[in-house]
Structure 1
Amino acid sequence: MNEVIKKRYEFVILFDVENGNPNGDPDAGNMPRIDPETGHGIVTDVCLKRKIRNYVDVVKQGADGYNIYVREGAILNRQHEKAYIANNIDPKDEKTARAKVKDLTKFMCDNFFDIRAFGAVMTTEVNCGQVRGPVQINFARSIDPIVQQEVTITRMAVTNEKDADKKGNEMGRKHIVPYALYRAEGYISAHLAEKVTGFTEEDLELLWEGLINMFDHDHSAARGKMATRRLIVFEHSSMLGNAPAHKLFESVKVKRIDSSKPVRSYSDYNVIIDRSLLPEGVNLIEKL
């Protein structure tokens, strides 16, 4: 399980939201992100990676090799300093640091799961190099256009005594999507795992767990009900792969059952996998 992965993978993940905001846009008053030309909803790769990081943090509890580099409240230069201490290098000794940057980068890859998976730019004041991770995820896009709703809510309490003389409650707003099913696609490079970060078979299994369970540890009033519905994995028989990724993705189609009414649940869709499109050397695995 600790061996570096030897095969290339791609995957398709389907997840949904009910009466929640899956990924607010701070440039639009935190309304759900949307493609203005098509009306389809968007969830960024950064948002999905954040949830995977949080899941790993919950499961591993800071175990050796499974620290999280980009975490809430983290000061990245202090994370880098751990590599300097481990290699007996003074952070102010830039000449020695440049000479041993590979050792510093290796320490960061060995000790932080998210660097090993997603890579990181660590060329700040305390330089630990830069790595491109083997795991990359596209923006998720909703299957159908979404409806952004702004719902007015009330709080039966006021903030201070001055407000109490004027009113008996506070008004607020929540931004929700009544229902949407999203699709994201991802890539895992065995070449980058071997040559750069050392992403292992154990890391891979943890990634699959994270993709399946990430929403169960991320519930909040703002996000409503979110869940991973399907995780479909394409496993190649070699490191370089046996087919173009886009051809594999085309074998998974999501169809709306009844277009005459708005969708309000996962059962309003059919997920169709055309296995006849799979070339020799590619194994399709339904993780969920």
Structure 2
Amino acid sequence: MSNETLLSSRRELFFAYDIKMGNPNGDPDENRPRVLPDGTYYVTDVRLKRFIRDYFKSQGKYILVDTIDSKTTNLTGRVAHFLRTKNKSEVAGSELVDILLESFIDARLFGSSFAFKEQDNWKPKPVPKTLTGALQFNHGEVMHKAEAVDIHGTTTFGSDEDKSQGTFTTYFALRYAFIGFNGVANEHSAKLSKMTDEDYKEVLKAMWKSVRGSGNTRTKVGQVPRILISINYRKGVEYQFGNLSDYIKLVPANGKDEKTWSSPDDYIVDLDLLKKRLDSQKDKIESISYETSPDVKYKDEIPPEWLPLNIDTDKNA
């Protein structure tokens, strides 16, 4: 990445995926779908970042928040292991941070607290000790009323070798959920974290690819990416809308109650307010890019000046 261009201007994005009969992000108590007091279901930014990191790892990129041989470790252990594999000495200070940012794409994107602990007589002293990532996400929210379901069953195997009856199980899920995330990549923070224009392109691809590729567990198998919109502001512009999801509405398509929705056939995506807001600030915007699932129906056509990302059709993606 040393020869790549640092993030040249501010970027803002909206990303949405859906899940059917699955749990997008279980709570730490009972592993139920996370819910706000007003009944809105949500997914943490940590969950989305995990999807992105896992995709990067599957593509052969180094990630800082990772295991070693499928075993958990602390930050010191992870970095020490990486340095050994690269035949690098156990450095410290700004040199250590420079190596981490050069090597780990998730550190450039999301930053790190660099909370090292002494291990094997090595206690790294990074400078700085904390680095704010250039790319920040809000928690994602389900953008309609959703219905939680409890699915009861039994395991195939008995709890003991001498028992023939399986044990009871309960699986918590949402009938259907369309989940929207907002994100901003700040060019000033990118100067410190060394995030590049190419990193931003890679994270857009990773978001779109990762949620579908994460379906190797029952809780995530029903996930599909649906909409990705990216705003590239003009260089030097100190502006962003914030919360782009506030300008995107889901309109019932067939009279079904929102809690009974089960697929994109049940709603139409209304971008009218978003297009109006974008048009009002078009002097600040260099370009708008998008990716969309063929199953999503829109109230009106996507503006012809928006540029397709072509993630699903790119043979190199």
> What band does the TM-score fall into relative to the shorter chain?
0.7 to 0.9
2:147 corresponds in structure 1 to: 147
Instruction: State, as a whole percentage, how many aligned pairs show the same letter.
Output: 22
2:266 corresponds in structure 1 to: 268
1:281 corresponds in structure 2 to: 284
User: Displacement, 1:248?
Assistant: 5.3
Of 220-229 and 81-90, the range deviating more from structure 2? 81-90
2:10 corresponds in structure 1 to: 8
Task: Give matches, 1:140-219, under 5 Å.
Answer: 140-164=140-164, 168-194=165-191, 196-219=192-215
C-alpha contact (below 8 Å) 1:105/1:130 kept by paired residues = no
- The unaligned stretches of length 5 or more in structure 2 are 118-123, 293-317
Amino acid at match of 1:78: G
Give the SS at the match of 2:96. helix
Amino acid at match of 2:16: L
The count of aligned residue pairs is 267
User: Displacement, 1:207?
Assistant: 0.3
Structure 1 CA distance, aligned partners of 2:52 and 2:77?
A: 22
Question: Structure 1 length as normaliser, TM-score?
Answer: 0.85
Distance 1:260 1:19, change over 3 A: closer
1:67 aligns with 2:68: no
1:135 aligns with 2:135: yes
CA offset digits 1:60-116 (Å, max 9, x no partner): x2xxxx3111114243102333569977456xxxxxx4xxx2221111111111101
Structure 1 CA distance, aligned partners of 2:161 and 2:115?
A: 50
User: Displacement, 1:162?
Assistant: 3.3
Structure 2 CA distance, aligned partners of 1:48 and 1:134?
A: 16
Structure 1 CA distance, aligned partners of 2:64 and 2:32?
A: 28
Tell me how large the CA RMSD over aligned residues is.
2.3
Give the SS at the match of 1:3. coil
CA offset digits 1:232-282 (Å, max 9, x no partner): 1111012444x4323855443333335543211122222222323221221
- Of structures 1 and 2, the one with the larger relative CO (CA 8 A, separation 6+) is 1
Structure 2 CA distance, aligned partners of 1:255 and 1:239?
A: 37
Distance 1:173 1:108, change over 3 A: same
Question: Structure 2 length as normaliser, TM-score?
Answer: 0.77
C-alpha contact (below 8 Å) 1:190/1:240 kept by paired residues = no
Give the SS at the match of 1:26. coil
Amino acid at match of 1:4: L
Amino acid at match of 1:230: I
Give the structure with the higher percent helix: 1
Give the structure with the higher percent strand: 1
Structure 2 CA distance, aligned partners of 1:150 and 1:105?
A: 46
C-alpha contact (below 8 Å) 1:191/1:239 kept by paired residues = no
1:76 corresponds in structure 2 to: 75
- The unaligned stretches of length 5 or more in structure 1 are 91-96
Distance 1:259 1:142, change over 3 A: farther
CA offset digits 1:134-173 (Å, max 9, x no partner): 0111100111232221111122321322323xxx333211
Structure 2 CA distance, aligned partners of 1:80 and 1:156?
A: 42
Give the SS at the match of 1:157. strand
1:93 corresponds in structure 2 to: none
Give the SS at the match of 1:180. strand
CA offset digits 1:1-50 (Å, max 9, x no partner): 821120111101111110100100012x1001111x22111100000000
1:22 aligns with 2:24: yes
Structure 2 CA distance, aligned partners of 1:78 and 1:210?
A: 26
